Amino acid sequence: MVVSNREKDSERDPAEVEANEYWRDSFTRYSEKVDDNSIAASISECFNCIDEYSIGTEKTGNNDNDNFSRNKSLVDSIDSMHDDDSRKNGFSRKHERDKNPEDECCFGVDCGNGMNRVIHRITSFIALRNNDIFAGISTSLNQIPEVMCYALLSGIKNPMLGIQSTWIMNLSTSLIGGSSGMISGLTASVAILIGKLVSDPDVGSDYNYIPYTVMLAGLLQAIIGLIGLDLLRLVPHPVKIGFVNSAGIIIALAQISFFKDQADKMSVVSNSWSLTFEIFTNDDPWRDLHTLMAMILLAFLSFSICEGLHCAQNAKKRIPSGFIALVIATLIEQVLRQYDVDLKTPLLGEYFEIKEEKFPIIIFFDNTSTLPPFSKETFGKIYLYSLSLLGVTWLESMMTGIVIDDLTKSQGSRSHVAVSQGASQLLVGLFGGIGGAAMIGQSVVNCRTGATTSLSGVVGGVSLMLFCSLKFFDFIKFVPVSALVGLMYYAVFHMIQWGSFLCILGAIIPQSLRVKLSFHRKIQRMDAFTILLVMIISILYGPSVGVASGICIAVFAYAWDSSNRILVERKKNEDCEHVTYFVAGPIFFGTGHLMLNMFTEKVIKSDPVEVLLSLEGAEIFDWSGMVAIKSLYDKLTEAGKTVAIGDISRTSKTMMEKNSFMWKNVNFVEIPDEVKSSLRTKSSKMSL
């Protein structure tokens, strides 16, 4: 139909044809661009199309019904070009076409002029990205109690610094980009490190050293991202599983503290591994039975709403389940309080009193702060804490990025994440904040409630700023805490890798029982041990320590396993004039001495004078491997043998050429393929 319209345009006024042609091309570009990753750019282009086409129409002077009928025909043709997937993005072009053409835009929608057009654009954008917007609002509500707890844990005098640091990090990391759906803010690990800095007698409990510490850590993290240092390649899958499972367990246990009646509600500490089990040992009593049952039911309702909407929406993900759950739970709670039913649950406003704060300014221009001079003495006090903060925040952010990429089915840039987190840390320090990192729990909540882009983080940061910088807290203080608890348990339920426990079970039970039960989920026992160890250490000592320990164990296990994969085959020719040794496997610090031990004095004496070492199936990985090959060459030469080395791989040859002095007076040969095949016909394996 588009082609026929263009043929008709050849008979019309050239200016009108040009305007209509631009309109069609713009909509064609728009139809090709509509997807989840470029929707914002598509909206902007489409709105520009509206404005520019309006100007073009004024120039041509054609606003009659005939012109509108042709425009309507073009919209119909565009409708036929789009499949169901493009309509899921929120642009449905089946609008009423019987209105006055002068009041219609190229969508076929009555936009009007001035403020009506602006409102139309805003509502269209909200319709397109409702999931990200409502997910960001819901997540910001979840962050308030958690961040306030962390701020108290850090030992700072003003807990509002935690909120301030969180919304700055949320906003800046989302704008800079890196990983879609990631939520950042003050975390337990950062709070504990800041608490150690504040309580350090060498620092003298001076809070003014915190900005320097945070800025230095952020600067180093940004540099790591800029140079592209990707250490996560060393993180094996069992370590990732252990990290995610431990985070879920910590979050789940921490929510239990809200079911106890704390004497000082501001002392509630959630998601802190050092105090994970204190909720079971402290003297705070449990709430009365009616309140406890009401909280459990409200939390279960919030969980059920999120899970039900998640199952109902499937791949569409157009229902803001978290926001709907909070609204319904809040309405139920207020109805119960209105009719004075004895099923009241604690509200968010009963736990934290958020005072209106002035908008933060750069700390160097803040007359209320007394920053110490940045000297060698100041650097000596903060650099160790900055390095610790760097390690914790970088590792948590990278691991959270992996989890979020799996949830959103996207591939974030780890270097970009490091740069955004580092720049945000630097910005937080400049405004006198206490730092932060990616929050795995809130990020999972954000993605599970429908967020797919960084827009949710922007909305979350702005919402948190409005909640706490203005008087919006008067509204959110009526949200029941148990509804937030249910939302967190919903995130935990989907965060923990439940299948990993079956894999661990398969590694424990014997093979005969697995065969009898038809249980086919076994993994290596070392992998199962790594998962359990990372989980235990992360819960007791923190996720960074757990991940570092898991990496060390995995590297050791790999080196140990690879050290048993060296193979040497021995082949003599028919006349016994020369012998060929075929070496296969990795040659590095773990296998070099094993290879040398295979060549005993008895074997060497029984060999002919001419010896050929074929490294066709071997790969030299380090200096220890080169030393092992050179030592074997010298050992055979000292026994009176004429030795030559051949079939060196390209990468091994490149490494050896860089240290050519080491191979002075060593004989190298190239073995033809037909000779190698004949040599292998009657080879025998050698072992220790």
Instruction: Give the domains, in start order, of the chain with CATH numbers.
Output: 2-128 (no CATH), 132-287+355-471 (no CATH), 498-562 (no CATH), 567-686 (3.30.750.24)
User: Strand, coil or helix: what is 184?
Assistant: strand
Query: Is residue 194 within 8 Å of residue 436, measured between CB atoms?
Result: no
Each residue's pLDDT tens digit, 619-663: 999 999 999 999 999 999 998 889 999 888 889 989 999 988 999
pLDDT in tens, 514-564: 888 888 888 999 999 999 999 999 888 877 788 889 989 988 988 888 888
Q: Would the pTM of this model clear 0.75, i.e. be above it?
A: no
The H or E element spanning position 579 is strand 578-587
Q: What pLDDT sits at residue 218?
A: 92
Mean pLDDT by 10 residues, the chain (688 residues): 46 54 50 43 44 42 45 45 43 42 45 62 69 83 76 71 87 83 85 79 70 91 86 83 86 81 52 54 78 90 86 59 84 84 78 65 77 83 86 85 81 84 91 87 82 84 78 72 85 86 91 87 91 90 84 89 86 79 90 88 86 89 92 90 89 90 87 60 50
Residues 145, 268 contacting (CB under 8 angstroms): yes
Q: What's the pLDDT at 230?
A: 75
DSSP assignment of 610-675: EEEEEEEEEEE-SHHHHHHHHHHHHHHHHTT-EEEEE---HHHHHHHHTTGGGGTT--EE---HHH
Contact in structure between 248 and 497 (CB atoms under 8 Å): no
> Which residues make Cβ contacts (< 8 Å) with residue 401, sequence separation at least 6?
178, 179, 182, 412, 414, 417, 438
Contact 154, 191 (CB under 8 A): yes
Phi, psi at residue 228, to the nearest 5°? 75, 30
